[in-house]
Amino acid sequence: MVMVFLASTLAACEGALSTIDPAGPSAARVADLWWCMLGGSILLATLVFALLLVGLLRRGVADREKPGNKSVWIGWLGLAMPVTVLMVLLGFALWVGERNLPTGPAAETIEVTAYNYGWEFCYEDGSCSEDVLRIPTGRPVDLDIRATDVIHSLWIPRLAGKMDAIPGQVNRLRIQADASGTYEAVCAEYCGVGHASHRFVVEAYEAENANNLMGAAR
Ligand SMILES: [Cu+2]
């Protein structure tokens, strides 16, 4: 019953904007973290409800025992279990954050400018595109993200986590697509009445054809 519920619920998580349907290494680590947090929360909830049940069943016993009796272990376990689980999750989250930093050389650095309500992408060859980001596959690409008006947030759920676009500041995000195709992206920070349509798409090309195709497309 539970498995059927989980399977039908998680089936709805696939799709163009799914965080747990990753198409690149950075998004895969974020998805791993998501699964780890789901597992941790289920484990913790199970342990806490088990302790609650023990406490309820022992209520009569505790009433008969003296203050400072053996039931104190329930309180200590209630403290130790969440601290242990949360520390493991925190450690894994810090590891994911470290691994997703843009370290080492990238295949290309692309200048990204967010504005109400569009996205501009300017490439190393001097060309630019609007609302369509073109990248090679299988290689890390760095996005230098800016904003001209208000704060936006760039989010390509299947390729990487979110990164804010802040006026007067440059934030770098590393993305990578493992396979060619089109990936959808949204603005993840409310930026005005047109926020819902503040979207773009990423077109990823096979690396060996990338230069010709991308040059022609731009
Ligand atoms: Cu926006």
Parse the chain into domains and list their residue ranges. Answer: 18-99, 108-217
> Cβ distance 108 to 136 under 8 Å?
yes
- Ligand 1 center to 134 CA (angstroms): 20
- Ligand 1 center to 146 CA (angstroms): 12
Predicted local confidence at residue 115, as pLDDT: 97
Q: Is the pLDDT confidence value at 140 over 60?
A: yes
Q: Is the pLDDT confidence value at 13 over 90?
A: no
- Ligand 1 center to 115 CA (angstroms): 7
Residue 2, both tokens: 């539970």
Residue 45, both tokens: 């909830």
The protein residues having their C-beta less than 5 angstroms from ligand 1 (an ion) are 152, 187, 191, 198
Q: What is the mean pLDDT of the chain?
A: 88
The per-residue pLDDT for range 150-162, each reduced to its tens digit, is: 999 999 999 999 9
- Ligand 1 center to 82 CA (angstroms): 37
- Ligand 1 center to 190 CA (angstroms): 6
Say what the alpha-carbon torsion angle 42, 44, 46, 51 is, to the nearest 10 degrees: -170
- Ligand 1 center to 111 CA (angstroms): 16
Separation CA 70–CA 75 (nearest Å): 10
- Ligand 1 center to 150 CA (angstroms): 8
Predicted local confidence at residue 95, as pLDDT: 95
Separation CA 215–CA 124 (nearest Å): 11
Predicted local confidence at residue 216, as pLDDT: 52
Burial class (CB in 10 A: 0-12, 13-18, 19+), 153: buried
What CATH topology corresponds to 108-217?
Immunoglobulin-like (2.60.40)
- Ligand 1 center to 148 CA (angstroms): 11
Separation CA 18–CA 51 (nearest Å): 35
pTM of the model as a whole: 0.81
Predicted local confidence at residue 78, as pLDDT: 79
- Ligand 1 center to 160 CA (angstroms): 17
Q: Give 138's pLDDT tier (boundaries 50, 70, 90).
A: very high
